[in-house]
Structure 1
Amino acid sequence: MDRDLAAARELAAGLAVRAGRLQLERHDTLRVGAPKAHANDVVSDVDIASEQLIVEAIREAFPDDAVQAEEGHGRTGNSGWTWVIDPLDGTRNYISRTGPWSVCIALYQGEQARVAVVHEPVAGETFSAVDGGGALLNGQSIVASSGPPLAEALVGVSFQPNPATKERAGKVIRDLLPVSGDIRRLPAALNLVYQAAGRLDGGLCLDTNLWDIAAGALIAREAGVILGGHGEDFTTELTIGAAPGLWPTLSERVRATA
């Protein structure tokens, strides 16, 4: 089944911007609900309202598409296309006002990501990609960094804040921090799109969900970032990204400890 991917990107970008505007407007009145999988897995009423906004619009535009969404508004479909949605990636940052967050929307055809949007509401930045069409930031082309030596590289780190993953992340960071230029902890989607824009030279994501990385991964690849895990392809257990010149050193180092 053919689909106008440029139009799908425009729809996703518009919805991400609308959700981001809602998040900014409701920042002072948000309500935090009960933790989900563990004490640090928090959710707010704004996460849920943002997801409802996105899913309802997609349902209206593409009633036969499946939806996979973090806060439970998913559904099955019969078109062969699936929307993967994280309405607010970085909820802890959003609630505590201690860092950035984003709205993430990806469109899959079967098992292949075809469209991706990551919108950062505070900065007003919309990263996007169509499979095979390059990566964009607010409509302008972006490319990965040239890949400096690891000792000069800025590396992003993302991980789920459950006890087991924090212990695993600690081992990686203890090994990587002394030999890298520096490290930044970020939500997974922004980690990936900052690599796409050349702001980070590489990064890793540990124990994510598909909605955390689906959009960012396509944008990163379209910008020239190499992605992998313990094998040739990345997984939700381990996603490593790096500019081509940095990839051999960073991937070997992370694989040895992650």
Structure 2
Amino acid sequence: MKLPDLDARFAAAKKMVLEAGEIAMASFRKPEMLGLRSKGLHDPVTEADLAIDHRLRQIIAEYFPEDGILSEEIGGSNARNLWVIDPIDGTQNFARGIGHFAISIAFVSQGRCEIGVVYNPATGEIFSAKRGCGAFCHDERLAVREPAGPEDAIIDAGYSTKLPVADYIALLGRLTAAEFGFVQNGSAAMGLAHVAAGRLDGYCELLLQSWDVMAGALLIEEAGGWVSSFSANDDLTQGKAILASTPSLQARLIEITGIGAGA
């Protein structure tokens, strides 16, 4: 069986996010150009989301026609070689002119994420990783931070409207009772990238989709962190909980959140 050319796909992923970023920034902080509409409660979509999705699909179909595609806006199905993309993760931030959002692209081969790229065009930061080669922000190699303990740690605790709000409030209560600090910044891809960069010490969310997670999770693994197994169910079209952290906090956060036990 011929293995996919990871070097070519890694280079392509980094070029694709830059082109996608240009599309996003063309309407960022320009309400008249957003074309904003709602897919559900606090789940907006803009013309930029759709335009980026369309353009990324065009590029992948042209250069890697045998690869599958799974994206937030169009969906897709599992494939042996699969691109998992979120055109804009943090669309609510993007639509409100808040510069905390990202284009997230991952390449998954035989169920394992091999490439992850997360790009915030508002700040110009591009985070990238190829399995076994480390994680980087531009040319700077990333490493997770090791806090002194919970009182020195900040966790990004994402919120899903698809679950009861009481579950989220209970999660925050357990985190604060254990002396962890928390934020909720509105972009899982960026939250995971910031854990990899040592800016945050963990990320948790009770329900996420693969396009939110795959690229950022690889960044953390390649930066020396730990991530609960997201693809263990072998179906990337189904959402599940996610927990990521620095190694020293792993056991305590599993205990508190209930995510990743046995992983």
Q: Do they fold alike, i.e. is TM over 0.5?
A: yes
2:256 maps to amino acid: R
| Kept in 2: contact 1:154–1:180 (CA 8 A) | no
Match of 1:154 in 2: 154
Aligned-partner SS, 1:173 = helix
Match of 2:241 in 1: 238
Match of 2:175 in 1: 176
1:57 counterpart = 2:56: no
Q: How does 1:106-121 map to 2 (within 5 A)?
A: 106-121=106-121
**C-alpha separation between the residues in 1 aligned to 2:257 and 2:8?**
38
Aligned-partner SS, 1:87 = strand
1:91 counterpart = 2:91: yes
Match of 1:23 in 2: 24
Would the alpha carbon gap of residues 156 and 75 (structure 1) be closer, same or farther in structure 2, given more than 3 Å must change? Answer: closer
Structure 2's unaligned 5+ residue stretches are none
**C-alpha separation between the residues in 1 aligned to 2:120 and 2:249?**
26
1:210 counterpart = 2:221: no
Match of 1:167 in 2: 166
Structure 1's unaligned 5+ residue stretches are none
Would the alpha carbon gap of residues 236 and 150 (structure 1) be closer, same or farther in structure 2, given more than 3 Å must change? Answer: farther
Match of 1:47 in 2: 49
Match of 2:250 in 1: 247
| Kept in 1: contact 2:57–2:69 (CA 8 A) | yes
1:100 maps to amino acid: H
| Kept in 2: contact 1:224–1:243 (CA 8 A) | yes
Aligned-partner SS, 1:122 = coil
TM-superposed CA distance for 1:99, in Å, is 5.0
| Kept in 2: contact 1:148–1:246 (CA 8 A) | no
1:30 maps to amino acid: L
Would the alpha carbon gap of residues 31 and 179 (structure 1) be closer, same or farther in structure 2, given more than 3 Å must change? Answer: same
**C-alpha separation between the residues in 2 aligned to 1:188 and 1:148?**
24
How many residue pairs match? The answer is 250
1:228 counterpart = 2:228: yes
2:176 maps to amino acid: L
**C-alpha separation between the residues in 1 aligned to 2:211 and 2:58?**
17
Aligned-partner SS, 1:143 = coil
TM-superposed CA distance for 1:180, in Å, is 3.2
Aligned-partner SS, 1:207 = strand
| Kept in 2: contact 1:19–1:50 (CA 8 A) | yes
**C-alpha separation between the residues in 2 aligned to 1:165 and 1:46?**
30
TM-superposed CA distance for 1:160, in Å, is 1.9
